[in-house]
Chain A
Amino acid sequence: MEIEIRGLRKVYPGGVVALEGLDLTIPPGVFALLGPNGSGKTTLMRILATLLEPTAGEAYVAGHDVRREKGAIREMLGYMPQEFGFYPSLTAYETLDYFGLLCRMNDPKERRSRIEQSLANVNLGEYAGRKVSTFSGGMKQRLGIAQALLNDPRVLIVDEPTSGLDPEERIRLRNLLVELAGGRVVILSTHIVSDVAVTSEGMAILHQGRLRFSGKPAELLGRLEGRTWIIDIEEEELSRVREELFVTGVFRSATGMQVRVIEDEMSHPGGYQTAPTLDDAYVAAMNQEVGSVGMG
Chain B
Amino acid sequence: MGWAEVRAAAIIVRREYQLACRAPAFWAVAALGALVAVWRASTGGTTAALGAYQAWQMVTYGVGALAILLAGAAAARDRQRGATELVLAKSGGSSGGLVAARFVGTWLSMLSIAAIVFAASSLGQAVLGGTPWRLGPYAAGLVRTAAPIALATALGFSLASLLTTPLAAGVAAIYWIVVPLGRSYLPTALDLTLTQHWREAALLAAGLVALAACLHARAIRGERERRAIGGWLSVLLLAGAGLSVLRTVHRGEDGLVNADPVLWAMASQTAIDGRQAPGFWLRDGEGRLVDLDQHRGRPVVLAFWGPASRGSVRALSVLGELAREHGEEGPACIAVCLDRDAGAMEGFAREAGPEVTVAWDRGRHFGVGMEWADSPVAVSYDVPAVPTVFFLDGERRLVERWRGEERLDGVAWRVARLLEGR
Contact = CB atoms under 8 A, between A and B. Distances in A.
A and B are interacting partners: yes
Interface of A: 49-51, 70-71, 74, 77, 79-87, 89-90, 98-99, 101-104, 144, 147
Contacts of A81: 82, 85-86, 89
A87 B91 CA distance: 17
Contact of A74 (B11, B78, B86, B92): B92
A132 to B, nearest CB: 11
A144 B86 CA distance: 9
Nearest to A83: B82
Nearest to B86: A84
A86 B85 CA distance: 10
5 contacts: A49-B89, A51-B88, A74-B89, A79-B85, A99-B87
Contacts of B83: 84-87
B417 interface: no
Contact of A102 (B82, B85, B90): B90
B81 A83 contact: yes
B8 A83 contact: no
B92 A101 contact: no
Contacts of A82: 82
Contacts of A49: 89
Contacts, number: 59
Contacts of A147: 86
B78 A85 contact: yes
Residue of A74, A86, A102 with most partner-chain B CB within 10 A:
A102
A85 B82 contact: yes
B199 interface: no
Contacts of B4: 71
Contacts of A70: 92
Given A77-B89, A85-B82, A102-B91, 18 more contacts: A50-B92, A51-B85, A51-B89, A70-B92, A71-B4, A71-B92, A74-B89, A74-B92, A79-B85, A79-B86, A81-B82, A81-B85, A82-B82, A84-B85, A87-B19, A87-B83, A98-B15, A102-B11
A104 to B, nearest CB: 8
A103 B90 contact: yes
Contacts of B81: 83-85
A181 B23 CA distance: 40
A87 B84 CA distance: 11
Interface in B1-49: 4, 7-8, 11-12, 15, 19, 22-23
Given A70-B92, A71-B4, A74-B92, A83 B85 contact: yes
A296 B23 CA distance: 59
Contacts of B7: 104
Contacts of A71: 4, 92
Nearest to A79: B89
Contacts of A87: 19, 83
B321 to A, nearest CB: 67
Residue of B15, B19, B85, B90 with most partner-chain A CB within 10 A:
B90
A187 to B, nearest CB: 14
Given A71-B92, A83-B82, A84-B83, A102 B8 contact: yes
Contacts of B86: 79-81, 84-86, 99, 144, 147
B209 to A, nearest CB: 26
A52 to B, nearest CB: 10
Residue of A70, A86, A98, A103 with most partner-chain B CB within 10 A:
A98
Residue of A49, A81, A85, A90 with most partner-chain B CB within 10 A:
A85
Contacts of A51: 85, 88-89
Nearest to B22: A89
